[in-house]
Structure 1
Amino acid sequence: MRKSEMVAGSLHEALRTGPFEHALRLAIQASGLTLARIRARMAERGVAVGLATLSYWQRGRSRPRSAELVLALEEVLELPRGALRDLLSPARREPAPERARYSVTPRQVCANAEAVQKLLVELNNPFDGQLTAQSVHEHLVLAPRRGIERLDLQILRQARIDGVDRDTVIAACEPGELPVRWRSEGTRLGRVATDHDSGVMAVEARFPHPLRRGENLLVDTVFEFTGSGQTCLAWGGGFRSGCQTYCLTVRFPAGDPPARVWRVFRPDNSSPTIDVGDIQVDGNFVAHFIDFDLPPGYYGMRWCWK
């Protein structure tokens, strides 16, 4: 059997069973089109989409957010109308193991959005929105009892205007759980606002000098916890304006790795959280991922021990 016939047969089955990203990869392979050509043909139909976004779709890192995008994709790939759209319906999504018991709650966009906004207002940062996140690296360490022990947060910020002299760093944890200590090497930490019920802390980070427009500064903050809080089952970052580079690492208790770790994605407050692939835990009991050119949304991991 020729390779093209094998691809066509696999595509037919994938369009029937899914998942979406598998069917899309096969459809692209069967079309013989590059991602750049697909992007150009979608643009001819008045639908703009980035190469990174197309790549994310076929790798399962994100999914199309509108019917218009899916329709244009089906037309370009010469698929029957609705072939890809049907794979995105909630009824066709394969339920993730343990979904009923473990849901993404820490740092979920919708879970803490109101609390975060309240604390931002309380601190009244005059430069809110005037810094962009060039890169964000979060390193979470879990204690032997599976609670949070430490969060190392490094954000490379770029000023949009002259004179920016501070940032607001957010630690959004579990309801009733807040850091007990916090410090920074490169900035002076000032005012603090907390919402204990929501598990959210906002800390003012003062820069060594006012930034010029386009100037970068690394805002590093370490949050320490008791380690005896409730079991942490998920972590991630929510980005209102997207992020160029996001890296998340989670160090699990030595000798006590979880049974399974998933990557998760949530495009906005009104959408369900989607599992987009498994992550392996290495020999040092660390799981991690790094991603680039992220649109607004929530990106993270969740895990379970059984």
Structure 2
Amino acid sequence: MRAQGVSVSLATLSYWQSGRSRPERRESMTAVELLEGVLELPAGRLIASLGPPRRRGRWLSTVPVSPEVAAFWPRPDAVEDAVSEVDIRWDERLTRISQHDRVFVSADGGERSYHSRQVLRAEADGPDRWVVIMHLDEHDRPLPTIRPLRHCRLGRTVLRPADGLLVAELMFDRPLRKGETVITEHELENSAPYPPADNYERKFRLPVREFVLEICFDPARLPVSCVRYSRLDAADEIAQQVEPSGSVHGVALNFGPGRYGFRWDWQK
């Protein structure tokens, strides 16, 4: 498969085989077609076994077949490999009701810290954790420190400094029952010198009913321009210029799968 320009990690193949995720992107479907040849199966055999494509929409309370774990990340194989070391079996059984991210940018233009508050609802008995995936663009900088703040504690943590990746389990106070909700808060704090910050985005593998994103700039230094953008699944990006100030924010309702964020310029 590599000889034909297609690379799929062992973790991804394992997820497809177990049903934890399914191939849906164009590259993934190409890989499945090549697998049919490698396994000497009739053309279309594996693709037919996938069943109908997942439902689309602005909001789905449940997504029967979700995008791959690393579908929206720049290096999917590295993310999937790191995620394979934690337990994500409950991810699709947790409805994202509300999420509020606050990003704090220092006077030198670096990302100082990040705070997240979210409300989740269990769609089955048993969910006991939330998995955080964080990626640094600057791989030569130390990974941030993750701190549970409310109704969670730190479980397994995977650090991949060479890939700029941190993956961590946030364990709830106890397993949830079906229909039960939980409010969790955690923060990620970088050490100085802070990694340069000119953008921030949240990737949603599954839909969220309400997402609020705030970027808080130090009053001593404000960007000269700022853009709020969003992109649903494979759709075109939607971008809007916003007035730079001490803080900017955006609100998305019934959003995802996709990505939502801000990017800004420090100089004209």
Same fold? TM cut 0.5? yes
Q: Which runs of 5+ in 1 are unaligned?
A: 1-47, 54-106
Structure 1, residues 183-237: CA drift from partner, whole Å, max 9, x if none?
Answer: 3222111210122233221111111111011111112111110142332111111
Take 2:71 and 2:123, find their aligned partners in 1: how far apart are those partners? 27
What number of residue pairs does the alignment pair up?
201
Q: Shift of the alpha carbon at 1:263?
A: 1.1
Change beyond 3 A, Cα 1:121–1:244: same
User: Paired residue for 2:260?
Assistant: 299
Change beyond 3 A, Cα 1:271–1:117: farther
* Contact residue 265 and residue 275 of structure 1 kept, 8 A: yes
SS of aligned partner of 1:119: helix
- In the alignment, does 2:130 pair up with 1:167? yes
Change beyond 3 A, Cα 1:208–1:183: closer
User: Paired residue for 2:171?
Assistant: 206
**Greater Rg by CA:** 1
Take 2:251 and 2:219, find their aligned partners in 1: how far apart are those partners? 23
Q: Shift of the alpha carbon at 1:145?
A: 1.6
Structure 1, residues 122-176: CA drift from partner, whole Å, max 9, x if none?
Answer: 1133323221211111100012221111100112111111011112122233242
User: Paired residue for 1:135?
Assistant: 98
User: Paired residue for 1:180?
Assistant: 145
User: Paired residue for 1:195?
Assistant: 160
Change beyond 3 A, Cα 1:179–1:119: same
- In the alignment, does 2:205 pair up with 1:240? yes
- In the alignment, does 2:73 pair up with 1:114? no
* Contact residue 143 and residue 227 of structure 1 kept, 8 A: no
User: Paired residue for 1:43?
Assistant: none
Q: Shift of the alpha carbon at 1:112?
A: 4.5
Take 2:249 and 2:192, find their aligned partners in 1: how far apart are those partners? 21
User: Paired residue for 2:118?
Assistant: 155
SS of aligned partner of 2:73: helix
Take 1:196 and 1:271, find their aligned partners in 2: how far apart are those partners? 32
Trace 1:254-273 onto structure 2 (pairs within 5 A): 254-268=219-233
* Contact residue 107 and residue 220 of structure 2 kept, 8 A: no
Q: Shift of the alpha carbon at 1:108?
A: 9.7
Change beyond 3 A, Cα 1:302–1:147: same
- In the alignment, does 2:184 pair up with 1:219? yes
Amino acid aligned to 2:228: R
- In the alignment, does 2:247 pair up with 1:286? yes
Structure 1, residues 77-133: CA drift from partner, whole Å, max 9, x if none?
Answer: xxxxxxxxxxxxxxxxxxxxxxxxxxxxxx992315433322221113332322121
Take 1:181 and 1:239, find their aligned partners in 2: how far apart are those partners? 20
SS of aligned partner of 1:287: strand
Take 2:154 and 2:179, find their aligned partners in 1: how far apart are those partners? 23
* Contact residue 155 and residue 170 of structure 2 kept, 8 A: yes
Amino acid aligned to 1:252: F
SS of aligned partner of 1:122: coil
Q: Which runs of 5+ in 2 are unaligned?
A: 1-54, 60-69
* Contact residue 73 and residue 79 of structure 2 kept, 8 A: no
* Contact residue 157 and residue 217 of structure 1 kept, 8 A: yes
Q: Shift of the alpha carbon at 1:301?
A: 0.6
* Contact residue 112 and residue 172 of structure 1 kept, 8 A: no
* Contact residue 262 and residue 275 of structure 1 kept, 8 A: no
Change beyond 3 A, Cα 1:249–1:205: same
Q: Shift of the alpha carbon at 1:291?
A: 1.2
* Contact residue 207 and residue 254 of structure 2 kept, 8 A: yes
TM-score of the two chains, using structure 1 as the length reference: 0.60
Amino acid aligned to 1:299: Y
Take 1:185 and 1:144, find their aligned partners in 2: how far apart are those partners? 28
**Structure number having the greater helix percentage:** 1
Change beyond 3 A, Cα 1:163–1:180: closer
Q: Shift of the alpha carbon at 1:247?
A: 0.6
**Structure number having the greater strand percentage:** 2
